[in-house]
Structure 1
Amino acid sequence: MLLKIINNIFRFIIIGISSYILMTKSFELTPYLMLFLALSLLASGLSEVISNRKRTWGYTTIIVSLFIFFVSLQSFILK
């Protein structure tokens, strides 16, 4: 239950940052967008693994979120 609430918070943040980027055509917040996307996918994957519904989908989501998190950290470092 807590992971779903956290995931929804991350989704609202993602929608807000995406809307800002689309309206202003300023891509300075893209690393933050990727960071929150990775955190949202991580929460979703953990929720799937914990609930034992689709374990392979949960593990795949966790791996993808770690990759996006790594790319986001690289963009923060290179900025």
Structure 2
Amino acid sequence: MKIVRIILAIIVLALSACLLITENFEFMPYLMLISGAIMLVRGLAELQKDRKGGFLGCVVVSLFLFFVSIQGFLMNSLS
């Protein structure tokens, strides 16, 4: 579980650095999608530690990030 979080975090850091350097925010929905995946994995880790409150918060944030990501994909496909 920890390795997955580290790999996803490295992807997010690399993608966000690339977005900032190039100032082309076309890949922002992918960044949100991977951030949502990080929060979901973090929530599952909280569930394994038997912390229900942390799990619920992470899952809510994860669902919000997935929703924003889907909206971004739809907005990019319409334009």
Q: Same fold (TM over 0.5)?
A: yes
Q: Give the 3-state SS of the residue equivalent to 1:29 in structure 2.
A: helix
- Equivalence for 1:47: 45
For 1:38, the aligned partner's letter is G
- Equivalence for 2:56: 59
Superposition RMSD in Å: 0.9
Deviation at 1:49, TM superposition (A): 0.9
Deviation at 1:18, TM superposition (A): 0.6
Question: Of 14, 17, 33, which aligns to 1:16?
Answer: 14
Give me the identity figure in percent.
37
Equivalences, count: 76
Q: CA separation in 2, counterparts of 1:47 and 1:32?
A: 23
TM-score (norm 2): 0.89
After the TM superposition, which segments of 4 or more aligned residues of structure 1 sit over 2 Å from their partners?
A: none
Identify unmatched segments of 5+ residues in structure 1: none
Of 54-63 and 32-41, deviating more is 54-63
Deviation at 1:24, TM superposition (A): 0.8
